[in-house]
Amino acid sequence: MTQSWAWLDKAAAASTPIEDMFAEDSERLSRLSLDVNCGDATLYFDFSKTHLTTDDVGRFAEMAEKFHLSAARERLFGGEVINITEERAAEHSAERGTGATEAVERAFSLRQRMYGLVGAIQAGAFGEIKHLIHIGIGGSALGPDMLYDALAREDAQCDVHIVSNVDGAALAEAFAACDPQTTMIAIASKTFTTTETLRNAESAVNWLKQEGVEDPYGRCIALTAAPEKASEWGIDDARILPFSETVGGRYSLWSSIGFPFALAGGQEAFDALLAGAAAMDAHFRDAPFERNAPILAACVDQYYARGRKAQTRAIFAYDERLRLLPDYLQQLEMESNGKSVTLNGDVVDVPTAAISWGGVGTDAQHAVFQLLHQGTHILPIEFVASAEPGHDLDPEHHAILLSNCFAQGAALMQGRASDDPHRHYGGDRPSTTILLDDVSPAALGALIAFYEHRVFANAVFMNINPFDQFGVELGKAIAKSIATDADTAFDPSTQALLSRVGLQ
Ligand code: F6P
């Protein structure tokens, strides 16, 4: 399909500076920005400060037809086996009520089970519970961590600690902050085989035991797609909250993996999160190509990755509540689209997932923005902000925060000429801005669903499978052989490192 993309190289090579495009087309802003109403939330997307033109959008629409984007989207929502390498559907949207009827019904009934357990904890079935230590890693930690941090940290109905790293220091910190007599442990693992999670879970049970808790396993809950493994591990079926095998790890915060948010934020907030995501599903499914936020975002991504050979993309959250968003997106984007072969197994001829990185504004302005304004990299940037603040302090805080956010986008685009090369800003640097009306459950649900669908649309344009992750397995297998077989031979460098710390 390389031939079909030749227009993009040409378009990118001949592109006009972004500022001039505004001067040439008074409709540019309205054509390349849109509000997406997601029930109780509205998200505003502004793609106009990128080099994308409306002609480009038309060409991308033709490419979408060649790559059968509409059909792929229907197969996704229809629960078809779209993850062909693992022979599975990808049914995360069913968790929020969008998808094949059977999957939606199953998700609904499993969610009622989760709410039942939340209710039992709140009603005192396990004695007084003040703390939850949630143990999981990757998709079993990043999503719940972000939800709790963004939406429940302030008024939490239960104090939550998310522990992912197998470095015991992470768990020790959680132990120090919790009273074992009033703590429950949630063990979150889709497969219930992940070494780090099982190691941490065992230490948590030992901690409860040492601290005199009579039935430590009785304080454990499993959030998993492998209930039989959780049961073998020692958790009673009544405290196992299953979710479907067809929900991928990095797409699982909508399922029982989101338990910490359901417990700390409450059922109403969890339902609102799902409703916001469902509204974004409907938008992705029904909005026309040129007014479809995830699709336009994917066009921008493809424009820079293919047309300008950009290798990275930076996301800056101008809101403390969204400080974990860049970490969350790293897994979603890079584990999904960091691939080198197409669906057929042919080597790809394009750069796949951009390396996604970022931070929080305004902090990042004082750390990495020098490179963004004057460095040599081609680097599309994304700003995410909220019109409403997440605090009751002087409104000036939020005014300064948002002025800085919008000023950065303007400065990157307009630049500032100077005779002194050190003080010269070349400008014409692209950025996208996403403005939420507030960081509410509905808005965050819609935002995450937007990113999921953008990843999917990118994958379709690249003809790759975003739903597998075989690249993580080799390192795990080698680590296991180090742990289990002292005689395994390694290269001299690895061997020397192992001997230095007594591992061989
Ligand atoms: O190692 C990668 C990975 O498989 C992720 O895809 C997943 O989110 C994470 O590990 C945790 O897996 P699990 O939920 O099965 O413990």
Q: Measured between alpha carbons, how far is 172 from 169 in angstroms, rounded to an integer?
A: 5
Atom of ligand 1 nearest to the CA of 250: 8
For this complex, say whether ipTM is above 0.90.
Answer: yes
Q: Measured between alpha carbons, how far is 455 from 466 in angstroms, rounded to an integer?
A: 7
Q: How confident is the model at residue 487 (pLDDT cuts 50, 70, 90)?
A: confident
CA of 39 to the centre of ligand 1 (A): 32
143 lines ligand 1 (CB under 6 A): no
pLDDT of residue 117: 97
Give the predicted TM-score (pTM) of the model: 0.97
CA of 139 to the centre of ligand 1 (A): 6
CA angle 115, 118, 119 (to 5 degrees): 85
248 lines ligand 1 (CB under 6 A): no
Each residue's pLDDT tens digit, 236-292: 999 999 999 999 999 999 999 999 999 999 999 999 999 999 999 999 999 999 999
| For range 144-153, the mean pLDDT | 96
Q: What is the CA radius of gyration of the chain?
A: 24
| For range 78-107, the mean pLDDT | 96
Q: How confident is the model at residue 176 (pLDDT cuts 50, 70, 90)?
A: very high
| For range 83-109, the mean pLDDT | 96
Q: Which of the following is catalytic: 128, 366, 422, 473?
A: 366
CA of 315 to the centre of ligand 1 (A): 23
249 lines ligand 1 (CB under 6 A): yes
Is 335 designated active site? yes
- Strand runs labelled E in 55-110: none
| For range 474-487, the mean pLDDT | 86
Q: Measured between alpha carbons, how far is 352 from 340 in angstroms, rounded to an integer?
A: 7
Give the residue, out of 229, 331, 469, 473, with the most ligand 1 atoms within 8 A of its beta carbon, to mutate for a pocket test. 469
Q: How confident is the model at residue 370 (pLDDT cuts 50, 70, 90)?
A: very high
Is 10 designated active site? no
**Nearest CA owner, ligand 1 atom 6:** 249
| For range 27-42, the mean pLDDT | 96
> No. of H helices and E strands in the chain?
20, 11
Q: Which of the following is catalytic: 335, 398, 452, 453?
A: 335
**Nearest CA owner, ligand 1 atom 13:** 189
- Strand runs labelled E in 278-387: 312-318, 355-360, 381-386
pLDDT of residue 248: 97
Six-digit token string for 433: 């801005």
C-alpha separations of 234 from 187, 201, 231, 496 in Å: 12, 11, 5, 39
The dihedral region occupied by 75, where left means phi > 0, alpha psi between -120 and 50, and beta the remainder, is: alpha
Each residue's pLDDT tens digit, 400-456: 999 999 999 999 999 999 999 999 999 999 999 999 999 999 999 999 999 999 999
| For range 89-116, the mean pLDDT | 97
CA of 199 to the centre of ligand 1 (A): 14
Is 339 designated active site? no
Each residue's pLDDT tens digit, 202-248: 999 999 999 999 999 999 999 999 999 999 999 999 999 999 999 99
CA 415 to chain centre: 31
Q: Measured between alpha carbons, how far is 39 from 22 in angstroms, rounded to an integer?
A: 32
247 lines ligand 1 (CB under 6 A): no
191 lines ligand 1 (CB under 6 A): yes
**Looking at the predicted structure, is the pLDDT value of residue 296 above 80?**
yes
**Looking at the predicted structure, is the pLDDT value of residue 88 above 60?**
yes
pLDDT of residue 486: 74
**Looking at the predicted structure, is the pLDDT value of residue 2 above 60?**
no
Atom of ligand 1 nearest to the CA of 137: 11
Order of strands across the sheet with 431-436?
A: 33-38, 41-46, 431-436, 381-386, 312-318, 355-360
pLDDT of residue 250: 98
250 lines ligand 1 (CB under 6 A): yes
Task: Summarize the chain as % helix, strand, coil (round to 5).
Answer: 55, 15, 30
- For a pLDDT cut of 90, what percent of the chain falls above it? 92
pLDDT of residue 243: 98
Lowest mean pLDDT segment, chosen from 1-10, 33-42, 96-105: 1-10
Atom of ligand 1 nearest to the CA of 476: 1
Atom of ligand 1 nearest to the CA of 139: 8
Tell me the residue type at 196. E
Each residue's pLDDT tens digit, 342-366: 999 999 988 888 899 999 999 999 9
Q: How many other CB atoms sit within 10 Å of the CB of residue 30? A: 10
- Strand runs labelled E in 2-158: 33-38, 41-46, 131-135
CA of 93 to the centre of ligand 1 (A): 19
336 lines ligand 1 (CB under 6 A): no
466 lines ligand 1 (CB under 6 A): no
pLDDT of residue 3: 61
pLDDT of residue 154: 83
356 lines ligand 1 (CB under 6 A): no
Order of strands across the sheet with 131-135?
A: 159-163, 131-135, 183-188, 220-224, 240-242
